Structure 1
Amino acid sequence: MTRDERLQQIIAILRDGKMHRASDLAERLGVSVRTIWRDMAEISAYGVPVEGERGVGYILRRAVGLPPLVLTREELAALDHLLDLAEAMEDPRLAGGAASLAAKIRAALPSAPPEPSAEDAGEGLAGDRG
């Protein structure tokens, strides 16, 4: 498991809203307690609302995620193209991140998006005509 995968796994574990001790997380993820401490500091630095208390454990009190986005067909097509380009990059971290992001986006999209109406044509995120 890579460091980034471990950080994501820690966040996933903490999403249950329960208190988790560093020693329990370390055992579950096969790393040292010291590594968990470093990981928690990094997760906090990214802005994830993790609360921790020495001797008690860590907890994630608020949900972590992005607010809903409304994208036009053109924006989705551009994003899809950019992700395809990133997946083809020689840097395996960038390519892997792009593939993971593309899978998450595709999983969140409806299987058959509705056809745009005439009044929707040309609208951007803020509804600007353009």
Structure 2
Amino acid sequence: MTRNERFEQILLLLREGALLRARDLAARLGVSERTIWRDMATLVDYGVPIEGERGVGYILRRPLALPPLVLTHEEMAALRHLLRLAEAHADTRIGTGARTLAAKIRAVMPPEPEEDAAV
């Protein structure tokens, strides 16, 4: 499991709302407690609203989700274009993040409109 996959798993577990100890997370994810401590510090540095500490446990302070958005056709076209650009980014970390983000966004986006060939 990659570090990004582990971050995603940690966030999924935290979204359940229970207080989670590093020991339990480590056992569940097959890593050391120290790795969980470092991961939690990194996630907090990224702005994830995690509250807790070593020896006590961790919990999300508030739900981690984006509010619903209503986009125009032009905004949808721009979003699709930006996703393609980000996915092609040479930096592996950004490209990987962009690909997983794009997959999540595309899963909830309406299909791209087909060009009207009959015009």
Could you state the TM-score of these two structures normalised by the residue count of structure 1? 0.74
Q: After TM superposition, where is structure 1 displaced by more than 6 Å over at least 4 residues in a row?
A: none
Residue segments in structure 1 that go unaligned for 5+ positions in a row: 114-130
Name the larger-Rg structure: 1
Does the CA contact (< 8 Å) of 2:37 and 2:54 recur in 1? no
- 2:14 is aligned with 1:14: yes
CA RMSD of aligned residues (A): 2.1
Relative to 1, partners in 2 of residues 1:47 and 1:93: Cα closer, same or farther, differing over 3 Å?
closer
Alignment CA distance shift 1:34-1:54 (3 Å)? closer
2:22–2:57 contact (8 Å) kept in structure 1: yes
Residues 21, 57 of structure 1: 8 Å contact kept: yes
Give the C-alpha shift of residue 112 in structure 1: 8.3
Q: Any gaps of 5 or more consecutive residues in structure 2? A: 114-119
CA distance in 2, matches of 1:92, 1:53: 31
1:5 Cα offset (Å): 1.9
Instruction: Give how far 1:73 is off.
Output: 0.8
Q: Residue type matched to 2:59 in 1?
A: I
